[in-house]
Amino acid sequence: MPRLLRKPFGNHGKVHDITPQSAGWRYVGFSLYRLRAGEHAHELTRDREVILVMVEGKASVYAADHDWGVLGDRMDVFEKTPPHCLYVPNGSDWKATAETDCTIAICTAPGKSSHEPRRIGPNGIQLTERGKGVNKRFINNIAMEAEDFAGSLLVTEVFTPSGHWSSYPSHRHDEDDFPRITYLEETYYHRLKPRQGFGIQRVYTDDGGLDETMAVNDGDVVLVPRGHHPCGVPYGFEMYYLNVMAGPLRKWRFVAAPEVQSILDKDK
């Protein structure tokens, strides 16, 4: 099993490059660029569909034979404003030129050749509350299944307040048995406020065959190949993460961990 916690290569340029091959799975890819004003990033999508997420900063983007202008207006991810994003289909290319220092996430999955390039957000993305008590967090849904402009990708942002838990109650989506559950690989790109903070993420299966608990720092990525995957942040820190999911079916259906089922039943 490839290691689940991936540290950035550095703090400039392409600092993450997770492929299905390097992750040891079939669907999800995730990379991240940290560019200085005036710098460029350019890639071919080949057989992958792509969603570019302007995590922070501004960039001029040309993709799929179209000039999309300047994307981005969130200079700090913890502003919690809706992100500017772009869907780029397979068989295309894209180029981003940084207008300011910026952070650009590249979310990828197998393309299905039937979707057009399009801007996503900030219009139509609204910060919504999920959970209650110390399970409360706030979601920017970028491309979940209600939006049908992608073939494989599911992408969302989550803001977890100080001292709270997220991706909780614990759940898994690691079987292809729709509508009971779907098989979705997943990456978590974590950010912390303040940056010297830390969070915790556990990835575990019911039978204990996989059970890893990781301290995550600002800029880390966690791979979730299977199993439950809750995370939390201590008092005094805030956590952001960008989720990328994909599998054979673009549906998000999950099963709760047995030890938390009573919590779900109580909340009904």
pLDDT at position 52 is: 98
Lowest mean pLDDT across 103-107, 142-146, 237-241:
142-146
Q: Provide the pairing of β-strand 165-166 with 231-232.
A: antiparallel
Fold held by 5-267: Jelly Rolls (2.60.120)
The count of C-alpha atoms lying within 13 angstroms of the C-alpha of 228, restricted to the half-sphere facing its C-beta, is 22
Q: How far, in Å, CA of 226 to CA of 254, rounded? A: 11
Helices and strands (H and E) in the chain: how many? 2, 25
Residue-wise pLDDT tens digits, 59-106: 999 999 999 999 999 999 999 999 999 999 999 999 999 999 999 999
pTM: 0.96
pLDDT at 113 over 80: no
| Arithmetic mean of pLDDT over the chain | 95
Please list, residue by residue across 90-127, b when 16 or more beta carbons sit within 10 angstroms of its beta carbon and e when fewer do: bebebebbbbebbbbbbbbbbbeeebebbebbbeebee
E-state strands within 194-230: 198-204, 211-217, 221-224
Q: Over 80: is that where the pLDDT of 222 sits?
A: yes
Q: Is the pLDDT of residue 268 over 60?
A: no
- Give the pLDDT score at 117: 96
Domain spans of the chain? 5-267
| Cα separation, 141 vs 128, whole angstroms | 8
**pLDDT, tens digit (0-9, with 9 covering 90-100), for 149-196:** 899 999 999 999 999 999 999 999 999 999 999 999 999 999 999 999
